Structure 1
Amino acid sequence: MKIKFIIAFFAITWLTLVVRVFFLAVESNTYYERLSYSNTIKNEQIAPVRGEIVDRNNRPIAINKLGFKIQLRPHLRLKSNIENFNEEIDNLVRLIPVLKKDNLIKNYIKKDSYYNHDFIDIVHFISYEDIMPVYSILSLRENINIVPAPKRYYPYGEIGAHAIGYVSRANKKDIQNDELLELIGYTGKSGLEKYYNTYLQGKPGQRYVKVNANNQEIEELSYESADEDRKLTLNIDIELQKYISSLFDKKAGAVIVMGVDGAILSASSYPEYSLNTFVSGISYEMWDKLSNSLDKPFTNKLVNGLYPPGSTIKMGLALIYITTELDKSWTVDCRASMPLGKRVFRCWKKRGHRQTGLIKAIRESCDDYFYKGSLQVGIKKMSDGLMRYGLGKKTGVDLPNEFIGIVPSREWKRNKYNKPWFIGETVNTSIGQGDFLTTPMQIAQFTALMATSKLPTPHFAKYIGDEEYKPETTDVLTADELDKLPLIQKSMYEVCNHPRGTATHYLSSKVTIAGKTGTAQVIGIMQDIEDRVLEHEMEYYTRSHAWFTSYGPYKDPKYVVLAMVEHGGHGGSAAGEIVSKIYNKLLELKYIKE
C-alpha cells in the first residue's frame, strides 16, 4: 500500500512539473512576445485637427488658430533630476514671460507618475507670435518638446454665439463618454459645435515607432494620417446675422430668419457673449456677471427659452375652430369682456371689437372671438390640433438639448399635477396664456406651416462635408384644413396691410408680408382692474413679451422672419421695425426679388 502511495505522489509531482514547463515554454510565449513587442514598439495616436465651420458664402465662422503646446519629459521631479526640472521651468518663464510658473508646475504634477513615459503637456496653448522668438532655443533642449496645437477661434466674436456654440477643454465626464477627448483635449460644449462635435473632431491617426529601453525613438515603422479638417457649411449668412445683431441693440430676446423649407439664414438669442472667452476658460468675475444677469445671456432662447406664445397661435386655433365645430362665417359680438363663473375674461380692446368674424378676429387680435370659440370647440380638439401643427414637441432643429414646451390639456395637467381641468384654463389657452409655453423656434416652424401648408424641419447645416443636408418637410394638415388655409393667410395679410391691422402702422417693409403680433403677459392682471396700466408705464421686468412672426413675400412665401423682444410690450411696436428692416435687408441682399 505504501509503495502505491509513493508511486502516486511522484507521478502527480512530475505531472505538475511537466504541465508547468509546458505552460512556461509554450502557452505563455504569446503573452511574453506581446509584452516584448510593447516594450519595443510604441503606438502613438495622432490628434485630428478640428473641422472648420463656414457660412453659406464660405466665410469662416469657427476656425483653428495656429499655435503650439509645450511638453516636458516625465520623471524630472525625482531627486536625481529635480535640478533639471527647476532649470527647465525657470528657463520657460524667463524666455516666455506670459507663462505662470505655478501653472506649469501644477500641470506637470497632475500627469507625472512612474507609469507615464510620455512627455507631459505643461502649456496647452501658446500663440505662434509668442513662441517663434524662442523656438530655436527651446527646440535644442532634450527635456522640452514643442508640438503644433491649433486653438479654436471665432472671428465674429459674439455674433450668433448661441447658435454656433463654443469649444472648451474636455472634463472627466466628457472623456468618460468619448476616450478620444483625452488625446484631443477640447470638445464642443454648446450650439452647433456640440451638436456636430463627433463629425467636426474627426478620427485620430496612428503612428508605430520602434523604441529602445530608454523609450528613445529609433525608427518609424508605419504612419496613418488622421481623418481631419471636416468642413461644416451652414445656411447662415453671417453678414445678415451681424446686421440683425446691430438692430437688436441692448434688447433681450430672439430673432429667426428661416426659409419656408426650414433652412436658417440667421438665428440669434440676445444678449450674446463672446465665444472666444470660453475657449481657454472664463474668469470667475465674468462668469458671475453673466450667470447673475436677469437677461439670462447663457440661455439659448431659440430652443431653451420658454414663453407664453400669446396671440401668435391664434391663426392655428382659428383653423382648428373652422374645421371642427364652427363655420367659417361664425361671428361673436365682442363687448370687451366675457363673464365665466366667478371670473371675467377681458379683450385687450377696452371698448371691444363688436361684431367680429374670423378675418377680423385675427387681423385685430380679438380675444373674445377665441374665448367663445374655445368654449364651443373644447380643449381636446384645440390641444390635439396644436400638437399636430408642431407645438408641444421638438422641431428637430440641429441644436442640442431642445425644449418641447407645453400645450396644455386635460391629460397633461393630470400627469403633471394630478388635478382636474377647469373651463377657465381652456379660455386662457385660446389666447396663448396660462400654462401654454413655446420656444421661438417652434413659432417660426408653426409660421412656415401657415405660409405653405407644410411643416419644415428647421436646420442650420447646408453641407456636411460634401453631402447636402436637406431634411424633408411634413404634411400635417387635413384636406379640410388645406381647403380653408387661404382664409388664415388672408387674415395674416390684413394684420400687416389693413388700416386696422395690429402691425400695419409699425411696418416699413418694402416687401409685402403677412404675419401675426403677440403680447404675452409676464404677470397676471387682477380681476377688479378694468383700466390696465400701459406697458411702458410698468416696471421693465413686469412688462409683457412682444412677439411678431411673419412670412414674405405674401403671394410667394420664401422666408419666415420672427422677432421676440422680452418685456417689449406690444408685438407690433416693439418688433415691427426690426422685422421690417430685416425684410429690406433680404431684398438688398437679393434673397427676395423686388
Structure 2
Amino acid sequence: MRMRVVIIFIIIFFILLLSRIYYLSIKSNVYYEEMAQQNAIKTQFLAPVRGEISDANGKLLATNDLGFSISIKPYLSLRKSSYALLQHEIEELTNTFKDLNATVLYRTYKKNDSYYNQDYVEVVDFIDYATMIPHFSRLNLRENIRIKPAVKRQYPYKALASHIIGYVGKVSLNDISENEIAKLTNYIGKSGVELYYNEVLQGEKGVRQVKVNALNQELGELFYKQANSKDIQLSIDIELQEYLAKLFSDNAGTAIVMNLEDGSILAAGSFPEYDLNPFVTGISVAEWKKLSNSLDHPFTNKLVNGLYPPGSVVKMGVGLSFMGQENINASTQFFCSGSIELGGRNFRCWNRAGHKQVDLKSAIKGSCDVYFYEAGLRVGIDQISSMMSRIGFGVKTGVDLPNEFVGTVPSREWKMLKFNQPWYQGETLNTSIGQGNFLVTPMQVAKYTAAIAKGVEITPTLLKSIDNNLTQSKQKEEIFNVFEKSQLPLIRQAMYEVANEQGGTAYRYYKDLPLTVAAKTGTAQVVGFSQAEKQRIKEEDFKYYLRSHAWITSYAPYQNPKYVVTVLVEHGGRSLSAGPISAKIYEKLIEMGYLQRKN
C-alpha cells in the first residue's frame, strides 16, 4: 500500500514537471519571443519642424532658423569618477562659444540627468548655423558630445502684427501632459494664431524603429515614417499692416481693415506692439518688467481683449432698436436743448448749445445724445439690450484668435445677476449712448459695422489657406428681420451724411477723399484706473490718461461696400486722431489697388 502511494506521488510529480516544461518551452515561446523583439527593437519619435506662417502675398511672418543643439552623454553627474569629465566637456563648450554660461549648462544637465534616462542630455537647445559650422567637425568627434540639427522660431518682422501672429515659447509641464508633440519639440504656441492654430502648425510626429544590441548600439533601421507639418497663410497684407503701425507711431489703440465679401481681415493692429523674438528662448526680467508696467498695455491684444465703452458708434444699432417701438418711426422728432433732466440730475449732450429738432437720421449725423436719451426712455432697456445682443455685442465674434472677450451689454437681468440690484432709468440713458457699463471689443465694433453695411452677419477671419488649400469662408447669417432690413437704408444714409455733409461729425476727415465713405464717430469716457496703475502714473501724465478714447468706424464705397475700417485711439479726445487715421487708411487702400477712386 505504501509503495503504491509513493509510486502515485512520483507519477503526479513527473506529470506536473513535464507540464511545466511543456508550458515554458512551447506555450510561452510566443510571449518570450515578443519580449525579446521589444528588447531588441528601439522606437524613436521624431519631432516635426513647425509650419511656417505667411501673409496674403506669401511673405513669411513666422519661419524657422536652422541650427544645432548640443547634448552631453548621460550619467556623468551621477558618479564621482565621471564628474571631472562632465566639467571638462562643459569647459570645452564655454571656451568654444563665449556666450554660453558654465553654471547654466551644469544646472541644465544635472536637472535632466538620471539613471532612467539613456539618451544624451541636451544642454544647449540652439546655436545658429554660421556659429556652429567652424567648430562642428571637432566637437562632433568628441565621444561625450552629440550635435544634432535643430530649429528656432523666427519672426522676420519683429514687432509688426505681433498680436495677430503671436509667438511660441518653451513648454510647461501642463503643456507636455496635454500635448505629446510639445514633448518632442519643447515649444508650443502661446498667443495669436501660433496658439489658435497650434495643432495645425506643430504637425505630426515621425517614427523610426531600429534594431539594437545589448549595448544599445544600432544594428539597422526597420521602419521610418517622416514627421510632417503644415504651413498656414493669413489674409493680412503685411505692407498695409506696416502702414497702420506707422500711423499709430507711439499712440495706443487699434485699427481693423475687414473685407466685406468673406470677412477676411486685411490688416489689424493692437498698439503698441512688441518684438516677438525674445519670447522664443525667454525674455529678460528687465524687458518683461518694462513691458508689463507700461500703462499702454502692449501685452494686451486689444482687438479681442480690450474692453471699452463704445460711445456713439453704437447709435446706428440703438437707433434701429427704436424703430417701430412705442410710436417711434424715422420721422419722429425730439427737441435737443443740450441736456435733459432725470431724477434731479442733468444728462448732457456733447453739444451744450443743443441740436434743436432732430429725427433719427439727423441724430446719427450730428451724434445728438438727447435724441437717444428721449427715445431710450420711451422704448426701454429691454428692447435696446435685445437688439445690441442680436447684432453682435456681448458675444464672441468668432474671429480665429484665442481667448476672445465678450464684453458687456447692460440689461435688467445682467445687473440683477451681477449686483443683485434693480435697474434705473439713468442707466438706460447711459446705455443708449454707449456709456456706463456697456463694454465692447474693437473686433465686435468692426463686425457690427459690417452687419449694418451688408445686412447680414459676417464673421471676421484671419486664415486664408492651409498648405495652399483655400479655407471656406463662414456662411453669412441673417440677424435682421424683414422690418429691420427695411430700415437699414435710412441708417446707411445717416452714416453717409456723417462723412459727406457739413454738420456731420466726420465730414472734415473725408471731404477731400476720392472715395465715398459712410462712417460714425464716437467718444468713450475713461472709467478709471486700478490702484496699481494709479501708483505708476506720473502726476504730469494724469491729464492725458483721463482723456476719452476716440472711435471711428466706417465702410466704403458707400454704394457698394467692400471694406470696413474701424479705428480706436486710446486717450484720443473727441475723435481728433481716429478720424485722420481712418482717412489715411482709405488713401492707402486706393494706392494699393484694393479700392478705386470715384469718378
Q: TM-score per shorter chain, which class?
A: over 0.9
Tell me whether 1:128 sits opposite 2:119 in the alignment.
no
Tell me whether 1:583 sits opposite 2:552 in the alignment.
no
Structure 2 letter corresponding to 1:539:
K
How far apart are the structure 2 equivalents of 1:29 and 1:410?
Answer: 76
Shift of residue 485, structure 1, vs aligned partner: 0.4
How far apart are the structure 2 equivalents of 1:13 and 1:352?
Answer: 114
- CA gap 1:215/1:481 in 2 versus in 1, 3 angstroms: same
Task: Assess if the C-alpha contact under 8 Å between 2:330 and 2:361 holds in 1.
Answer: no
Task: Assess if the C-alpha contact under 8 Å between 1:328 and 1:358 holds in 2.
Answer: yes
From 467, 471, 474, the equivalent of 2:474 is 471
1:385 matched to which residue of 2? Answer: 387
Q: How does 1:52-67 map to 2 (within 5 A)?
A: 52-67=52-67
Shift of residue 207, structure 1, vs aligned partner: 0.6
RMSD value over aligned CA atoms? 2.3
How far apart are the structure 2 equivalents of 1:7 and 1:455?
Answer: 94
How far apart are the structure 2 equivalents of 1:245 and 1:42?
Answer: 52
1:71 matched to which residue of 2? Answer: 71
TM-score, structure 2 normalization? 0.93
Structure 1 letter corresponding to 2:238:
I
Deviations 1:361-385 (A, max 9, x none): 0001000010111111111111111
Structure 2 letter corresponding to 1:103:
V
- CA gap 1:321/1:12 in 2 versus in 1, 3 angstroms: farther
Structure 2 letter corresponding to 1:139:
N
How far apart are the structure 2 equivalents of 1:225 and 1:581?
Answer: 49
Task: Assess if the C-alpha contact under 8 Å between 2:51 and 2:202 holds in 1.
Answer: yes
- CA gap 1:9/1:283 in 2 versus in 1, 3 angstroms: farther
Task: Assess if the C-alpha contact under 8 Å between 1:360 and 1:491 holds in 2.
Answer: yes
2:273 matched to which residue of 1? Answer: 272
How far apart are the structure 2 equivalents of 1:81 and 1:550?
Answer: 71
Shift of residue 4, structure 1, vs aligned partner: 13
- CA gap 1:355/1:26 in 2 versus in 1, 3 angstroms: farther
Shift of residue 104, structure 1, vs aligned partner: 1.5
Tell me which moved more, 123-132 or 97-106.
97-106
Task: Assess if the C-alpha contact under 8 Å between 1:234 and 1:460 holds in 2.
Answer: yes
What percent of counterpart residues are identical?
A: 50
Structure 1 letter corresponding to 2:469:
E
- CA gap 1:521/1:199 in 2 versus in 1, 3 angstroms: same
Structure 1 letter corresponding to 2:330:
K
SS of residue matched to 1:146: strand
Shift of residue 239, structure 1, vs aligned partner: 0.7
Structure 1 letter corresponding to 2:546:
T
How far apart are the structure 1 equivalents of 2:9 and 2:418?
Answer: 76
Deviations 1:421-476 (A, max 9, x none): 11111111000011100000000000001111111110000112233221122111
Q: How does 1:109-124 map to 2 (within 5 A)?
A: 109-124=110-125
Shift of residue 509, structure 1, vs aligned partner: 3.0
2:179 matched to which residue of 1? Answer: 178
- CA gap 1:88/1:476 in 2 versus in 1, 3 angstroms: same
**Unaligned stretches of 5+ residues in structure 1:** 525-535
- CA gap 1:436/1:23 in 2 versus in 1, 3 angstroms: farther
- CA gap 1:56/1:4 in 2 versus in 1, 3 angstroms: farther
SS of residue matched to 1:455: coil
Q: How does 1:136-175 map to 2 (within 5 A)?
A: 136-175=137-176
SS of residue matched to 2:266: strand
Tell me whether 1:569 sits opposite 2:573 in the alignment.
yes
1:299 matched to which residue of 2? Answer: 300
Shift of residue 323, structure 1, vs aligned partner: 3.7
Tell me whether 1:487 sits opposite 2:490 in the alignment.
yes
How far apart are the structure 1 equivalents of 2:376 and 2:233?
Answer: 45
Q: How does 1:31-70 map to 2 (within 5 A)?
A: 32-70=32-70
**Unaligned stretches of 5+ residues in structure 2:** 529-539
Deviations 1:473-504 (A, max 9, x none): 21111111111101000100111111101111
- CA gap 1:227/1:377 in 2 versus in 1, 3 angstroms: same
- CA gap 1:29/1:523 in 2 versus in 1, 3 angstroms: same
Structure 1 letter corresponding to 2:384:
M
The count of corresponding residues between Structure 1 and Structure 2 is: 581
Shift of residue 10, structure 1, vs aligned partner: 9.6
Task: Assess if the C-alpha contact under 8 Å between 2:181 and 2:202 holds in 1.
Answer: no
Task: Assess if the C-alpha contact under 8 Å between 1:548 and 1:564 holds in 2.
Answer: yes
Tell me whether 1:370 sits opposite 2:357 in the alignment.
no
From 548, 551, 555, the equivalent of 1:551 is 555
Shift of residue 139, structure 1, vs aligned partner: 1.3
- CA gap 1:235/1:501 in 2 versus in 1, 3 angstroms: same
How far apart are the structure 1 equivalents of 2:15 and 2:418?
Answer: 72
Structure 2 letter corresponding to 1:426:
T
- CA gap 1:384/1:276 in 2 versus in 1, 3 angstroms: same
Task: Assess if the C-alpha contact under 8 Å between 2:396 and 2:404 holds in 1.
Answer: yes
SS of residue matched to 2:80: coil
SS of residue matched to 2:447: helix
2:505 matched to which residue of 1? Answer: 502
Q: How does 1:285-324 map to 2 (within 5 A)?
A: 285-324=286-325
- CA gap 1:372/1:35 in 2 versus in 1, 3 angstroms: same
Deviations 1:289-347 (A, max 9, x none): 11111111111000000000000100011111114331111110001111111322111
Structure 2 letter corresponding to 1:555:
Q
TM-score, structure 1 normalization? 0.93
Shift of residue 506, structure 1, vs aligned partner: 3.1
Task: Assess if the C-alpha contact under 8 Å between 1:51 and 1:232 holds in 2.
Answer: yes
Deviations 1:530-587 (A, max 9, x none): xxxxxx997011111110111011111110111101111112x121111111000000
- CA gap 1:481/1:137 in 2 versus in 1, 3 angstroms: same
Task: Assess if the C-alpha contact under 8 Å between 1:329 and 1:358 holds in 2.
Answer: yes
SS of residue matched to 1:474: coil
Task: Assess if the C-alpha contact under 8 Å between 2:240 and 2:267 holds in 1.
Answer: yes
SS of residue matched to 1:306: coil
- CA gap 1:3/1:141 in 2 versus in 1, 3 angstroms: same
How far apart are the structure 2 equivalents of 1:494 and 1:3?
Answer: 122
Task: Assess if the C-alpha contact under 8 Å between 1:510 and 1:583 holds in 2.
Answer: no
1:424 matched to which residue of 2? Answer: 426
How far apart are the structure 2 equivalents of 1:298 and 1:285?
Answer: 15
